[in-house]
Amino acid sequence: MNPADNTGVFTEQADYEKGFGAYFAQKIAPLLGTLEADRLKFKQDFIVSAIFSGAAAALALAALWLIVPPGSMGSKDAEGRIKLSFFILFAATVLPTYFYHRYGEEAKGTLLPPMMSFFGGISFHPHMGINELTLRPFQIMPMHEIYHSEDYTNGTLDNLSLELGLIKLENRSKNSTYTVFRGIAVKFEVKKPFEGMTVLRHNQGMFGHALSSLFGNHGMERVQLEDPRFNASFEVSSTNQVEARYLLTTAFMERMMLLGALMHHWGDDPSTFNEQMALAAAFSNPCNVLASFYGRSLLLLIPYAGKFFEPGSLFTSATHLNEMRCVLYQIHLFRRIIEVLKLDQNIGM
Amino acid sequence: MTPLWILLGIAAVAYFWYASIVTRRNKVQEALSDIDVQLTKRHDLIPNILKIAERFMEHEKSLMTDITALRNQAQAAGGAKDASGVDAQLKLESQLQMRMGQFFALAENYPQLKSDGPMMQAQASYNEVEEHIAAARRFYNAAVEQLNNAIQVFPGSAFAGMAGISAYPFYQADEGSKAPVDADAYLRKTA
């Protein structure tokens, strides 16, 4: 963390932060006083609830292991006590966790709308998600039973309409759920509509490809492209072989690989992230981004499990701007997506 | 019984091998049809472009006449499905593309033509069609590669012979396009 960020004054360090210092002083700095007061209150609630929950859990565990007679839980007594112990420990974390996340939501709701406004016509809605029905037609969502989304953001960035959100896809197993995808879904509206659908998925190898051919590919055919580095990362399918090649020129294929390199370091602290080195290594790492061209939009699914649009932390002063700087960098990365893929021009050029 | 099963197995493998070669040949013809669609758009655009340019490029009549003749030849050669017909068609289209490139380069010397609204629109449409032709060409080359790989290696070559399927030519840039551009010569010519 940069000590200079703990002054409540935003000093511009990167090109994409140009102009934010003055904007911060005018629109955001006045909000920090109230936010800091709230943070201290939530922190106090967190500590008090942690102490009381911890004490209650300790008493419950002591009672379970020292007072409840052995064999009370039947033949699987030890197993039952262990499970109950874990449940008690889990229950003890519920209230403190609530206060921890509550402050996070507060910081988001307070800081993100004015931060987004700095970039132009973008609106942020922390409790809304991107509508699953708008994503399904693109045919790149991994199969799932449960869909969660939040941090819905929409508007215009660099003259391009976009909407995005954090999504989490889960499946049910016998007694629990497991995550099949967690990351960011971002949909850009492009200049010209597509005639068919072209989809970029991860290369599943010969076996995976044979399976998808067997179970149907929604009328799409495999598209074999020329760049072996691109083919190592992506499996391309399309309803229109010519349009797929019109979109995926050799230049565009290279840009998708570069995008993968940028997204690989999505959550890195921007002060430590070296974009040039990441781009130089673009073709060494497989690209995890999924893409689909359909209708009038390009949908990207970017796997990501870290902090997304989190401008504040319960244990860091509201005047400490490191997290805000990370959020600025995340917003800037969406502009880099537009720039790297040249989405503001006709795609394929 | 065992020899019978072996024979049936060999026959099944042979059938699927033959079927895959025919499928790849059909893929090549599908790709050729896609190219033909784009080439038709190009052929339809060229007379309009030349008509607009006529008013401004009075000294380039010979080039425009050449282009018109090439365009007519290419249009007549269109729709070929056999390897030799396709080869001839692709050669003509490459020459036509090269001449149109020269035409647009020369058009840069006519500022009034450059800024003419209909001409700008026609050129934008032409560029779009060229991009689609490039994409269709890549599809064709990919299909030809798969077909040629299948029929140039034994036993695919035997099945191809039985089915009357021969290798198709790749859609390549002609020699004129491959030659390095001499900017000095171009500037001397247009000065």
CA distance A246 to chain B (A): 5
Predicted local distance difference test score (pLDDT) of residue A82: 87
User: If contacts are CB pairs under 8 Å, which of residues 108-127 in chain B contact chain A?
Assistant: none
Q: For residue A1, what pLDDT band results from cuts at 50, 70 and 90?
A: very low
Closest Cα of chain B to A236: distance in Å?
13
Q: Which 3 state secondary structure label does DSSP give B71?
A: helix
DSSP A112: H
Residue A26 carries which DSSP code? I
Among residues of chain B, what percentage have pLDDT more than 70? Answer: 90
Tell me the whole-structure pTM to 2 decimals: 0.79
B41 touches chain A (CB under 8 A): no
In chain B, which residues have their Cβ closer than 8 Å to the Cβ of A224? 142, 146
Does residue A239 carry a pLDDT above 50? Answer: yes
C-beta atoms surrounding A300 within 10 Å: 24
- Alpha-carbon gap: B142 to the closest alpha carbon of chain A (Å): 7
What tokens were used for A175? 């007694």
Residue type, B24: R
pLDDT tens digits for A189-211?
Answer: 987 788 899 999 887 776 666 66
The dihedral region occupied by A80, where left means phi > 0, alpha psi between -120 and 50, and beta the remainder, is alpha
Asked if A246 lies within 8 A of B31 by C-beta distance, the reply is no
Peptide bond into B155 cis (omega under 30): yes
Q: What's the mean per-residue pLDDT of chain A?
A: 84
Lowest-confidence pick of A31-40, A151-160, B91-100, B173-182? B173-182
Residue A96 scores a pLDDT above 70: yes
Is the confidence at residue A63, as pLDDT, over 50? yes
> Dihedrals φ, ψ of A188, to 5°?
-105, 140
Lowest mean pLDDT among A230-239, B39-48, B169-178: B169-178
The CA distance from B7 to B79, in Å, is 41
Confidence class for position A162, pLDDT limits 50, 70, 90:
very high
Name the strand (E) or helix (H) holding B103: helix B83-107
Residue B6, judged by CB atoms within 10 A of its CB (0-12, 13-18, 19+), counts as: exposed
Name the residue type at position B138: R
Out of A7-11, A95-99, A318-322, A333-337, least confident range: A7-11
B28: which 2 tokens? Answer: 């090549």
Residue of B127, B138, B140 to mutate when probing chain A, most A C-beta within 10 A? B138
Q: What is the pLDDT of residue A171?
A: 94
H-run or E-run covering A171 = strand A160-172
* Rounded mean pLDDT, A26-45: 91
End-to-end Cα distance, chain A:
41
Q: How many CB atoms lie within 10 A of CB B84?
A: 11
ipTM of the complex: 0.76
Q: What backbone phi and psi angles, to 5 degrees, belong to B89?
A: -60, -45
What DSSP string runs through A136-164? GGGS-SPP-SEEEEEEEEEEEETTEEEEE
Whether the predicted pLDDT of A337 surpasses 60? yes
CA distance A311 to B129: 48
Yes or no, beta carbons of B38 and A242 under 8 Å apart:
yes
What pLDDT is stored for residue A244 in this prediction?
A: 92
Check A242 against B139: CB less than 8 A apart.
Answer: yes
Residue range B52-67, pLDDT digits in tens: 888 887 778 888 888 8
Cβ atoms B147, B24 nearer than 8 A: yes
**pLDDT tens profile A245-288:** 988 888 888 888 877 777 766 656 656 666 666 666 666 666 78
Digit-coded pLDDT (tens) for B95-105: 888 889 888 88
Give pLDDT, residue A299: 95
Give A-chain residues touching B132 at CB under 8 angstroms. 242, 246
A273 touches chain B (CB under 8 A): no
Tokens of A63: 């009672």
What DSSP designation does A174 have? Answer: S
